[in-house]
Chains A and B, each alone.
Chain A
Amino acid sequence: MTLVAASLAVITLDYRGGENGPLAGLGRTALTVIVPMQRAVDTVTRPIGNFFSGLAHLPSLAERNRQLEAENRELLAAAQANGYKQGLYEKLSAVLALRSTLDPSAVPAVVTGSGVSNFEWTVTIDKGSDAGIARDMPVVTGTQDGAMLVGRVVEVSTNASIVQLMIDRNFSVAGVLADSRATGLVVGEGEDDMRMGLVEPGTAVGGNESVFTQGICVADQPGLYPPGILIGQVSRTVPSSNAIEESVSVRPAADFSTLEFVLVLQARTSCS
């Protein structure tokens, strides 16, 4: 009974206090403690996780197995040359090359873990307010050819931050289609492709057309993203249910299952 009352008190306190409430401080402390441990565990278990997630994606195990056996001999030689570390090195150099092309100064960070819940899509990174990161800053990844949007910072402690991925159901960003120049609001849909709504009816949207950030604030939505960051590609047009707007599905450009390095842009985060 006491514990139920305590839980209800915590919910009320946190709901009313928000990010300045007494519990937000405790949350930041918990984040500070858990991230170094998460990083250590992740270093050990990531290859195991990669193995299982790769296994789950195999459409036909037997068919793939035959192909893999053939490829195995070639790959073994490559693996002996420490392919995993080479891959990490290449990803990191690509992200650092991207950093040098970006206008606002960006903080590179390592992804240490994913969100613990099935109801929100977040990752934790190993940099916090000590490195100049603040709430609502945009997070990107990519190579020097271009930046791809990852999400925005939602929680910051001294040495770690939580990043809300753009596929989270509470995430939205103003987007613009590359060819038709039509604008709309891109909203996260969890594991499914994102939905770009509020597109002007009658817009001819091409398949695989790229969607970029537009660099404007959306009313009632936190965060401001610099223009020209790639969000994703149009995967299909959704049949319109009304004459006021059209919707398209957008496949995210960044692959969140293999996300290892990101850049936090120290850009302006609000319009006011």
Chain B
Amino acid sequence: MIRVAGWLAIAGGALAAVAGAVAAVAGDTIPEWTGNKQAPELLGTVTVGLGLLAGACGWWLSRAAARPAGAPTARLLAAAAILAAVGVVGFTTVGTLWYVPGPLLLAAAALVIAEAARRGDAGASLRRLWLPMLTAVPALGYLLLAGTASPAAAAAGVFGGLAVLAALVVRRRRRLAYALLLAGALPFAIITWWSIVTPVLAVVILVLGHLSIVDARRTASADSQKILVNPVEMAPSDSTYQ
């Protein structure tokens, strides 16, 4: 199932990148196909990025499916969240051109979720991912807003969004995670303080990001204790610790 999801995601990601490139290059001449956007070049470029991200998820899923131990449930859910988010967002960026890649990515996400749900530890994994996924929402908001900002603010916004996402990935390394969180959240909010939106997003990022880091440490601590007590039963549930 994961292998099929990986292929679907790779195919969907490739088509998404093509759709984005078409919108960026010819969006003005075929507005009925690209959602009649005011700035098809920008949105097309963003869509290419989204397609590459989805393709990368698909590639990772394919590799994970080939490994004997499979992929950790938490990472499967994270991949499903990314595929689902890209699958939905694309409908607002390139219009009709998304009618093929979008459903492919959503189908891939559905397959991955089905596989994760089949496992016994899906609930626990989802709880583990819940706060990072929520923190990713305002981080993605940064990326969205950066797409319309002036060059300096846009750079701060893109860097900020990516830094916050990176902080979530390394959230168990507390100092690095906090450093990335602060470096990601603050510059864009300071540069565009007058917008109201970015300072509010920064506060949400810092609060939810802090909770994610604290939760990750607490979970890691609990996991190490569990491994010490019952390493045999712990091992299959999360291959990260193998």
Query: Is B truly associated with A?
Result: no
